[in-house]
Structure 1
């Protein structure tokens, strides 16, 4: 099982989360690319030691990318391309390369159902490098479109977020949407990795397909949560490693 976290989400002298500590725990890092957060300093600092994912989002620093924007598809494609290019440059300087693409925040949620924006993001990945994997919520429209386009699809579950009975995330504004107890979170992640199901917010057992588990870097106590999850997975006999690249021999420069 891959364990990923959202990193590089500071901007200038503002910091968010403990990237350095999380990099010692996770196997993949979703690095902000300067649209919802992030700058060259944070991108370069985060691009080390683990698999690198481009955490692309709406161009919305003020809203941290958590507000839906009805951006034209062609414009969205170009904005995603710019973000991928920025992270590629920082990764190359750090002697690394991008492995996958994961949308952020409101864009992540929109791509579950928004067909025009789904196509726009798929087009951006395909134009930039069709060998990159894409990571998202099982059942999302954009992952279905990505498969049709020949991209490699990876499915994600969330360690610290509650699920509805339909398998979607409980909106952040609702009570109980974000989980905070490391032991509880670790237990549900083991259940997910070994049995393939989670308990929804209303107590129902739901099937969840996952290649990767995400711990949000901005969740209070994120480092402790990530360590608890990793330790619990290892104790349960689950191998914790990054999802293999589509083409491990390629070099992006």
Structure 2
């Protein structure tokens, strides 16, 4: 990729990391739900994709992305670089409490993902998560190493309800999980903060298709549903919006990214109208 060699200070990641830090957006919630109408679009076998409905809760402003780092130094006669991974108990408590609260709105299962067999930070993470779990006796807690979790997302993703993990592991696992549904245009996200929250689809701005009327608006619409649920606590309204998206899909409407022979091909605006009519 022609942008891979751009200086770190000029990369877009520099801006988004700074935005998250300044707004105090400590958690990213990434739902991955495979609608029955879209099972055939998944790269997984239909029997694996059917029924997938999970949320990844990723710690967003701590860990190795925000730790001290050194681009280059001499050590024992060789150049080296390093990044410091660290987490505090309050940081882990905050993100895991959110995961348990999210599970209360769902099916009551939390999977905490770490690398506690190797990393000291992961051992603190696991101890702290176990302590937080004591306040949630009705929630089932399971621990998985990150490599096993990555494998399970590929071979049995429907087993998961809420996955909670640190910044680095969450970045990788949420991108892996994103492809399960077959279209990046379907996926919403929420970045939750102490004073404010940010809701956006995961697909970015896609300037190459701007103004062409071919973008899938469903990720944006579903992000609005997350705003209703997590910031406004309007559970019924969020359910209504999500149900309208499912109804539009079940009725055979598809934007360009999902279109196949036999369906109703619609533009971005037309799909938005179709969804609105079904709310």
TM-score (normalised: structure 1): 0.28
Q: Of the two, which has the highest radius of gyration?
A: 2
Higher fraction of helix: 2
TM-score (normalised: structure 2): 0.26
